[in-house]
Chains A and B, each alone.
Chain A
Amino acid sequence: MRRRTLLYGAMAAPLLAACSGQSDDGKASGGRTTLTYGVWDVAQVPGMQKVIDAFEKENPGISVRMELTPWSSYWTTLKTAMRGGTAPDVFWMNAVNLQLYASSGVLEPLSGHIKSDATPVDRHRHALVKIYAYQGTQYGIPKDFDTIGLWYNKALFDKAGIEYPDATWTWDDVRDAAAELTDPRARVHGMAAEMDRQGQLYPAIHGAGGYVLKDGRSGFGDERSIEGLRYWTDMIDRGWSPPQSAMVESRARNRYWSEKTAMVYDLSAMAGQMYAIPALKDHGGVAVLPKGRERATIIHGLANVISAKSRKKAAAWKFVHFMAGRRAAEIQASAGVTISSYEGTQGAWLKSMPEFDLKHFIEMQEYAVPYPSSKNTAVWENLQYPLLGAAFSGKGGIESAARTLGEQMDRALKEERA
């Protein structure tokens, strides 16, 4: 009985959405156009509200209402709302979903608008802008970005008597340090090799000179890619990192926060949360990712897109155009939540946390690889964790697991082209 309700609820949702379809128009009350803006990160709401306030001051005829949907249900809700025609006019998009949405024709193409209004798209990193283009047409404009850096705990380094990581570090230095820093009696590990695609898997694959996705082919079977994955599984096998089975319950990030791991690869977007932990504000540090065969990190950023079904496209474009500009970027940066993708506006973010050397995150843009994606990214991404799980739990077999993953991913890629 109750076991069924959840599922039926989920099945009935599109139906109900379809019924309530055209009711919420949000049409101008008193000559004002009200736009809806779909976002998922509650931490960014205050900062985005400041951007909206500035936009409304400049455009008295338009008001913007933010609609917050938690990440866990953002995409299912959005898809359902799209079918029912109740989707927000402007909303956040990520790399994983862009091609799916663009190829289904539910996003407004922006290339024409960008040209006629001279939107400063070229002031945003090309690697980021490229993520939001599909078949030569631009569908979204990035608003922020994040890269992965090496976070470390200075107190644990001092205790082990090792020098702090810097730009000269290679993977060998990381291995030596991880071995020294691991202290089983204190239950402290040198590194936390969590099975996480953005934070660990992809940066290591590219660092070893491999690739995740190139010309519609999977890179998981590639020797170099496997070398990158082995960088992590080795640390687990040698006891320098807890196994994945232990990190399901307490994630790498949380282990670093509670000073149970000395080093961790993590997002620049986590800086604010780390800064809020007194111990880490005092003795936490960050460096560029150590070099494997190559220097690499992963860059990703959110973009603003317009729904093709929006009935207020002119106002929606004004808003997206505003958010692509310098002023919006500066407001966003000084709110200190994320790094604005607009070049030269990152100063305020750097200054907001002077104890951390955040400039490394900006430097790494030079060699950062864009987050890989295809038309149905979620399908092949969902293959990764079940197939690699055993190898990341200290059971060995990363080579064959990676090759199997490569084959299955190729099959999924072939299917999405069909």
Chain B
Amino acid sequence: MMSVFPSTAAAKAAGRGKRAAGAASDAPGPPKSRSQRAAYLFIAPLGIGFAAFYFWPLLQTFFYSFTEFGAFGGNTWVGTDNYVRVLKDVTVWQALGNTLIYCAIGLLALPLAIGIAALLNRRGLRGVALYRALYFIPFVTLPVAVGLVWNWLYNGDYGLINEVLEWIGADRRYWVSDPSTAVYAIGTVMVWSTTGYYLIIFMAGIKGIPQDYYEAAELDGAGPLRRFFTITLPLLSPTIFFASIICMINSLQTFDLIYIMMAEKNPAIGDTQSVVSLFYKWAFIENAQGAAAALAFLLMLIIAALTLVQFRLQKRWVHYA
């Protein structure tokens, strides 16, 4: 269940380290080697943690994906059987489809966050810190609490959402147990709880755009919308690119909200199950750790592929000023 992002970051760090080592050997000298040692020392906390808690489990998972895992330890080599099982299983494809829906919905948090960030960055707005905190609270709230409270809001018999709908004359619905709405109900909560996080990133990004551009545009008579689309958006594009990668990876790994919000007997469970919830079910309930490991690797490959596509596409729309 490795996300690609930290690993690329570490690869870059490692590459940089090597280059530094090469430079040091070209011009040997006490001050340089000391600074080099210091550099390693600074990298060490991340490097060791990364190796012990990301890279080593990743290798183990890769190994386990070729074995059948006993419920109480011990494993036998089964070759590619687990991968065959994963590719043949219809629930895997359904979960994959659901996961892509979550990803698409999850990405809606970005335009929402950009819009709010632009509004909060208007000159003369008072209480920005308060708004920022309010928007950020959902993100730092425990997913368990978020899931429970939203389940009450969605409740078919007593939920607030249905009360409001009834009041305006619409039909009540069982939002999280109706297969046609459940995936969107969960997606909505996802967007609600992550928007604040991207908002912070975008606010910082907008702060980094020099005021001169806006002043010049204003003198030339550009209105606020024009300024937003021709200055803010293009100059924010590197930040948007970063946020979209993080957002995509996080949405592809959706698990906790589904785990909390979807009860075992929910008739919509097949329509909302993500790849990671399927992984959890296989690994921890059905004693199929080997197949679960193979599934985790499949997800990792998909995340890597989509991230690669994003990196390719960025040349067309990301402007580095």
Contact = CB atoms under 8 A, between A and B. Distances in A.
Nearest to B285: A378
Contacts of A15: 57
B186 to A, nearest CB: 13
A79 B71 contact: yes
B264 A385 contact: yes
Given A4-B253, A248-B176, A249-B177, A104 B267 contact: no
Contacts of A244: 177, 265, 267
Contacts of A376: 286-287
Contact of A378 (B73, B179, B287): B287
A349 B8 CA distance: 64
B177 A106 contact: no
Interface in B235-281: 250, 253-256, 263-270, 276, 280-281
Nearest to B269: A386
A376 B71 CA distance: 10
B70 A104 contact: yes
A273 interface: no
Contacts of A35: none
Contacts of B255: 3, 6-7
Interface stretch (A22-30, A287-295, A389-397): A389-397
Given A245-B174, A246-B174, A382-B285, A389 B267 contact: yes
A195 B177 CA distance: 13
A43 interface: no
Contact of B250 (A3, A196, A392): A3
A378 B285 CA distance: 7
Contacts of A12: 53, 57
A245 B156 contact: yes
A6 B264 CA distance: 19
A83 B72 contact: yes
Contact of A385 (B71, B269, B276, B280): B269
A126 interface: no
B266 A248 contact: yes
B1 interface: yes
- Name the residue among A3, A378, A379 with the largest chain B CB count within 10 angstroms: A3
Given A248-B176, A250-B157, A390 B1 contact: no
A22 B281 CA distance: 29
B284 A4 contact: no
Given A82-B72, A245-B178, A7 B276 contact: yes
- Name the residue among A15, A104, A195, A249 with the largest chain B CB count within 10 angstroms: A249
Given A245-B174, A390-B179, A385 B265 contact: yes
Contacts of B285: 76, 378, 382
Interface string A1-37: 1111011101110010000000000000000000000
A389 B156 contact: no
Given A245-B267, A249-B157, A376-B286, A104 B72 contact: yes
A245 B177 contact: yes
A133 B53 CA distance: 41
Nearest to B197: A1
A249 B1 contact: no
Interface string B45-78: 0000000010001000100000000111100000
A248 B267 contact: yes
Interface in B7-30: none
Contacts of A6: 143, 255-256
Contacts of A246: 156-157, 174, 177
Contacts of A385: 264-267, 269
Nearest to B287: A376
B265 A389 contact: yes
B287 A248 contact: no
A374 to B, nearest CB: 13
Contacts of B266: 245, 248, 385, 389
A8 B283 CA distance: 13
Given A4-B253, A249-B156, 5 more contacts: A6-B143, A6-B255, A8-B57, A104-B71, A378-B287
The 6 closest A-B pairs by CB, nearest first: A389-B267, A245-B177, A245-B174, A248-B177, A386-B270, A83-B73
30 contacts: A3-B250, A3-B256, A6-B255, A6-B256, A7-B255, A8-B1, A82-B73, A83-B72, A83-B73, A195-B267, A244-B177, A245-B267, A246-B156, A246-B157, A249-B151, A249-B155, A249-B156, A249-B174, A249-B177, A250-B157, A376-B286, A378-B287, A379-B286, A382-B281, A382-B286, A385-B265, A389-B265, A389-B267, A389-B269, A390-B267
Interface of A: 1-4, 6-8, 10-12, 15, 76, 79, 82-83, 100, 104, 106, 194-196, 244-250, 376, 378-379, 382, 385-386, 389-390, 392-393
